[in-house]
Chain A
Amino acid sequence: MNAIADTVPVQATEPHATLGYRAFQLGGFSFRRDEYFAHIGWTTADGRPLSHTMDIGAFLRALMRDVAWGFFYGGVNFDHVFGTTNHYKTVDLYAGRFNATMKAAGVDRLENFPTPQIAATFEQMLDDWTNAGFDPFAAPQETGSPYGRKNGSNTAKITRARELATRCVGLKGDLDLRSDERGAPVNRAFADVPQEQPELHPEPGFENEVHAFNLFGFLSRSQVTWNPSFTSVVKHSYMCPTTEEHILPIIHANDRVEWFFQMCDEIHWDCADKTTGKPLARVIMKAGDMAAMPAYCRHQGYSPKRSMLLVWENGSPSLVYEIQRGESPEVPVVF
């Protein structure tokens, strides 16, 4: 585990006598797992106990993204009840806050934590609850079962470093290309993707400026699903392509507009109101399609075959506040 988890105290029990898993406490929220489920408990504002149950595989896949992305941009809903909102130095943890029915009933709970505290708890929970043979970053056909009693761990697979180019993949001193030798073979679903690199003909002295690489080949060698990684950067414009298979394990409620460019195959997106969860639209994207995700929506994608998606982000640190102040629209273009 990383340095944060080693230095910030985490409230955890001893392993359960039969199941073998630890239970965790974070502020007013409790977390435990059994053979099939994650159980989240909290107390409502008027003092009643309430709880929520998620399939443990779905919970661990969502937890994996939230941990790996450092809580990402905006809201990361694990499902229609539970999730986090990133404030970049602190993080909100909530249950029912962005569910219209639960919010109206007053049974929701939201607590704000310093990022290191929630990160440490989430990292230890992910490590304790992930058994040997289950990779929460993989698609269901590619990995073993998340179910059953405590059976080893898979720390190497849940602590992969996020891959972020600073200018462009493959430049000297920047993020390396992927290869068999670097432990990144071509995924079974991309076996037909051409692997040859572009022809480069630099004049002497311009070898590091006459630069191109095979992006589709690079993506065909991604070892994880649903994990936007930087490949090229123009100021705060980040190309974050990723390979997608099965279901995006979270419902993302961005605090800014983002764009999707489908580079092969297809993904179907459910879009809903990010405050209430009310369904707004389905966006069906095929190769070459481009769509904006307005800043008022939350979205979750379904990819029947492993596909290549370009997630395009504006990483400007001031943007979220410009949207909050009404200076930047929630819709990218009006026509």
Chain B
Amino acid sequence: MSADTAYTTVFGSLDRYEKGGVQVIDDRVTNYAFSNCFEIASKAAPYERVVFGQNQIYVLETVRAEGVSPWFTCAHDEFALCMDGEVEVHLVKLEAEQTVPDAEHNGAVLVKGEPRGAKMGWMRLRRGHQALLPKNAAYQFRAARPSVLVLQTCKGDLSVERWAEICQTA
């Protein structure tokens, strides 16, 4: 493809993003809960799970991945999508006593102590890569440089909500 017809796909990053916005005609701007994952991650503590999408019990969370995370586990599947940088995901098949006791419990929890069980393996995610975080496994993120993840999960004990700070309000 010649240079004059080639397309450039514009992705965002922590260092470089351009935020759009709601142009109100006749409505309440907060009803659109408009935010940007790179802006959220740029102001978040490492591995805070900031809710930026919610539909009843379900959420999408933005995570600033930086350094080594705690070990998380969950009674249901979750997914992690890397939006910027490079993140390793390490998995351990938890022994039954360390899994979430209630199979219906929504959202991730912290593993108490070091995870016990077989090492399942690990993955290296770059921008656009999406990983399964299988239910009842323990998972840990490791990122040498600040990176951005989006988690598909349910709202749980670790979900942080601060809508007025992350969303367009005027």
Contacts and interface: CB of A to CB of B under 8 A. Distances in A.
Contacts of A280: 24-27
Given A167-B77, A193-B128, A332-B54, A291 B22 contact: yes
A191 B53 contact: no
B135 to A, nearest CB: 9
A211 B30 CA distance: 37
Interface in B57-91: 57-58, 60, 76-79, 81, 83, 89, 91
B53 to A, nearest CB: 5
B58 A235 contact: yes
A316 B56 CA distance: 10
B25 to A, nearest CB: 5
A333 B54 contact: yes
A261 B26 contact: no
B132 A168 contact: yes
Nearest to A217: B128
Contacts of B167: 335
Contacts of B38: 288
B96 interface: no
Contact of A209 (B25, B52, B122, B134): B134
A294 B75 CA distance: 30
Contacts of A319: 56
B7 A188 contact: yes
Interface string A281-317: 1111111111111100100000001100000111010
Contacts of B10: 264-266, 286-287
Given A191-B7, A285-B20, A335-B164, A312 B76 contact: no
A333 B129 contact: no
Given A192-B7, A288-B12, A283 B34 contact: yes
B130 A203 contact: no
A206 B120 contact: yes
Contacts of B1: 188, 191
A60 interface: no
A61 B18 CA distance: 31
Max chain A C-beta neighbours (<10 A), residue from B60, B125, B128, B153: B128
B32 A203 contact: no
Contacts of A233: 77
Contacts of A209: 91, 120, 132, 134, 137
Interface stretch (A44-52, A65-73, A91-99, A194-202): A194-202
B121 interface: yes
Interface residues of A, number: 78
Given A305-B7, A333-B54, A290 B93 contact: no
Interface in B1-35: 1, 6-12, 17-27, 29-35
A278 B122 contact: no
A60 to B, nearest CB: 26
B129 A213 contact: yes
A196 B1 CA distance: 20
B103 interface: no
A153 to B, nearest CB: 31
A328 interface: yes
A334 B164 CA distance: 9
B128 A214 contact: yes
Contacts of A334: 30
Given A283-B23, A332-B53, 5 more contacts: A201-B121, A212-B129, A237-B154, A281-B27, A314-B58
Interface of B: 1, 6-12, 17-27, 29-39, 52-58, 60, 76-79, 81, 83, 89, 91, 93, 118-132, 134, 137, 150, 152-154, 161, 163-164, 167
12 contacts: A168-B79, A193-B128, A198-B123, A199-B123, A200-B123, A258-B55, A259-B60, A261-B37, A271-B27, A289-B19, A314-B56, A332-B53
